[in-house]
Amino acid sequence: MTSGDVREFLVAAGDFLAADPVAHTLLLTEAAYLDAAAGAELDDGCAFGWWVDEAGAVAGAFLRAPRHPPVLTPVPAEALPSLVGVLGEMDALGVDGRDVERVASVWLDRTGVVLVERFRVALCRLVTPQWGGNESGVEFRRATVDDRELLVGWFHELMAANPGDPSDLGYVIDDPLRYGGLTLWEVGGRPVAMCGRSRVVAGMTRVSAAYAPDGRTDAVFAAACAEASQVAEHVLVLTTDVAAHRALGFEVVLDRVTLEPRAVV
């Protein structure tokens, strides 16, 4: 089943996604943002799908947010051929690392297109926080709408430093301001860094979007994690630096892999 309506998607597949909020973090957080933004101006390009098994239960799903590649949950083998037809031609596809070979094999059989790994990132869950106390004169607080002008400037600097990141201002700044999801690090009363987290969905939130003009984000990231642990059972992060996050008390749960198509020569 497919739809362009996020609310129809959540009615149909929400329970399935919420049953494993850690593995399904990307779809849950994107769907929560798109649902909250319903009625606001969003770029075209949203698509949602779910696969129902013979018993009538949802057993797999995908979501495509504006300007982002589709992202999949693990999908049963029997559902993959139909998924090829639904997604059609695409620039990239996000999958669970355990499904890379299965997905690539079906795509090759059905389309003659080879899917190769473009990017791999570890999904880590906070298990035992390891951060210490604050330095003298250092304070952390939730950002408010009064901070928006500063945060918007930082957002544009962050995107300029990561030109391949399709994240939009609403997701990184405006929506977190509404639910208290942005932490500011202040030194001497002056904000020097920010870190955001997603909405809490099914007891899960994901910390991301840490930025400081001078590059020092460790302290604000730790503070954002501490705040997140007060409001969510599962505190997650996507990272390529597993060692650094293990030192903060995170453990790897799984890999997420972005695949991209290459035509067979």
* Contact present, 177 and 33 (Cβ < 8 Å): no
Token look-up 């997420």 returns 256
Q: Which residues pair with 183 in a beta bridge?
A: 142, 195
* Each residue's pLDDT tens digit, 182-213: 999 999 899 999 999 999 999 999 999 899 99
Residue length, the chain? 265
* Each residue's pLDDT tens digit, 3-52: 999 999 999 999 999 999 999 999 999 999 999 987 554 556 789 999 99
pTM: 0.93
How far, in Å, are 6, 24, 177 from residue 20 at the CA level?
Answer: 19, 6, 27
* Contact present, 127 and 244 (Cβ < 8 Å): no
| Torsion (CA) 162, 165, 166, 170 in degrees, nearest 10 | -70
Asked whether the predicted pLDDT for residue 166 surpasses 90, the reply is: no
Least Cα distance to 14 among 3, 6, 22 occurs for: 6
